[in-house]
Chains A and B, each alone.
Chain A
């Protein structure tokens, strides 16, 4: 087949054969990877600026307002436009698939990806056109500082973020409505049974009964373990959406009053109290839903790859509950450099409870590794390789986090490149995304009706470039942090030049890896197929693999 023919038509992809659930999943996945490209380009622009004045990029990027507007939208596009979109798309497919029930509403699922896409685009436009740049942490009163930022830009940005949060709330509604629907295999289950299973209480009771020598509370839990993780992580997703939405409303009120010529006093809101509230919510993304969703994804992937039961399933169920409680109490590790923060909160929430994350994530790593080990010998397929890459990512990033969540270390690590690279980017780019790539490869035959992947070689090239680039970028920029390089600071003279060049080379590897991945996908589904994904589905089925059972 000629190159042009494959580019237009793909390998053997037929978008007309896809049902409504498959199509809505793929729409979110496509948008997510397009946003990933944007985030990688933005990241590389910032990195090149930090390389110094000789870096081969236009000088306009060295302009402070321009540089920081990129830094403001980069995490919005990355976390919401790309990660949320991919995770939500995958879960809106997996929950019906694993519970063998239809998705509550395909219309809502469509609204979710549309709202997140439009919201992300609006925030991006606010930064691009009006250079609104308070950074994603929105530290009070910077987002309401109309001496530095345009009111219109601020309003467009906040409305964009609000749309993302509305999309998030709709996702939550759709997921819970699907889980609690008493149809199919859950026809005879009560809401109470589903709730007990969702919170992992059945796993806990099974463990207690085992210790007391009694028969298990429930031999066959109502919800599969990955669904429990989705259920549990979604609690944090909800709380986080409420916090971000309410902070957005606060900023919006100030901006609107300012625009009407009656500015409110920003000092009425205490900056440290606001920081506590905002970090409580924002941290539910990092230490809450990411870790819980990731643990659940590892368990799912390990069982699907090996075709065997998860090792120590009851412990895993109970640990997910612990993880949820831990995630609500760790936000103070972001405030260890804030001298007004009570020492007791730094000690208990910032250090001690945070240290539990080593335990919960270490446990998830252990259970996943043993499940894989017991199924030896395994073939090194892309899903397995990416899963192992994800484990490496968190194996590096979680201990880095525990080290910096310490009153002694934080004094010299806070707001340095160490935090944002050795910890955050390794956790996101290597840990989270490698896990998500594994899920993409596992789900590929299911959502595309067994479409042949264009090139295995390109898949492996993507894997190695991405893994080495991701770890390398985190390592070199992290080292610059230890040399004193701050994050969220404009360096225009190439102050940390050597390490920045090395980090930029590794960042370029990540960017090229993304382009290779995208090319492989486009060549598999074809341009026509790609467009077809966005056309209405002829088959309105909102489930996968249960039609025959229903007949």
Chain B
């Protein structure tokens, strides 16, 4: 099983967590009901203590193994300094403005792009969002300089497998001046900044 986009992953997560939430609420409700009954409740399954502990360990560790194998950006993120991207975009952010950022970026389907963002002053975020508001991906953008006084990079690799046009937003709060004082609109949204083209209807080339 592989999730080709964050949208697929989040729908799966929505479903899986909702089922779990209904299960745990029902379980405690069943437990509460039977706590007050005089007759002994018939247990549906008998879970031994060590079995339960082993289940928790399996879930805690297994969940990461599952995501490592099914979410493509995990290994790509860990190995990003050894992967050659198809294109790189390096720019800065300061005083609640994007600086030297390309006006628009066009990506061909399946390309892996590197975004390298440097902050001149505060902590910001860099996120890409679909036109329906859902998130493609995001990272934090911390300020800071290396020993030579060069601004630290906050870099991420992303492979685009679906056509679309995405907005950029700062995903971290950097003070009220990031918003228009009168309208309350964010000054850090860049609408329709990135376009992906060349993918088939269901994604990929």
Contact = CB atoms under 8 A, between A and B. Distances in A.
- The answer to whether A binds B is yes
B140 A373 contact: no
Interface in A190-215: none
Contacts of B184: 62-64, 67, 490, 492
B138 to A, nearest CB: 6
A475 B135 contact: no
- The prevalent SS among residues of B at the interface is mixed
A356 B3 CA distance: 26
A414 B34 contact: no
B13 A372 contact: no
Interface stretch (A28-36, A104-112, A256-264, A399-407): A399-407
Nearest to A480: B133
A500 to B, nearest CB: 12
Contacts of B107: none
Interface string B110-131: 0000000000011101010110
A457 interface: no
A495 B132 CA distance: 10
Given A145-B175, A407-B74, A376 B35 contact: yes
Nearest to B39: A377
Contact of A337 (B37, B61, B132, B138): B138
Interface in B37-51: 37-38, 40, 49
B52 A475 contact: no
B164 interface: no
A145 B121 CA distance: 9
A343 interface: yes
B6 A411 contact: yes
Contacts of B156: 339
A407 B67 contact: yes
Contact of B181 (A64, A351, A355): A64
A322 interface: no
A496 B9 CA distance: 20
A366 B142 contact: no
B103 interface: no
B197 interface: no
A187 B174 CA distance: 56
A75 interface: no
A131 B13 CA distance: 38
B64 to A, nearest CB: 5
A380 B36 contact: yes
A400 B138 contact: no
Interface residues of B, number: 79
Given A400-B17, A495-B133, A415 B138 contact: yes
A266 B27 CA distance: 52
Interface string A241-272: 00000000000000000000000001100111
A492 B185 contact: yes
B135 A337 contact: no
A171 interface: no
Contacts of A148: 175-177
| Central interface residue in B10, B53, B56, B127, by most chain A CB within 10 Å | B56
Given A377-B36, A412-B6, A416-B135, A134 B17 contact: no
A376 B10 contact: no
A98 interface: no
A492 B117 CA distance: 27
A516 interface: no
A121 B5 CA distance: 46
Given A412-B136, A483-B132, A486-B169, 4 more contacts: A339-B154, A377-B38, A392-B25, A488-B173
Interface of A: 62-65, 67-68, 131, 133-135, 139-142, 145, 147-149, 266-267, 270-272, 275, 312, 335, 337-340, 343, 351-352, 355-356, 358-359, 362-363, 366, 369, 372-373, 376-380, 384-385, 388, 391-392, 395-396, 399-400, 402-403, 406-409, 411-412, 414-416, 422, 471, 475, 479, 482-486, 488-490, 492, 495-496
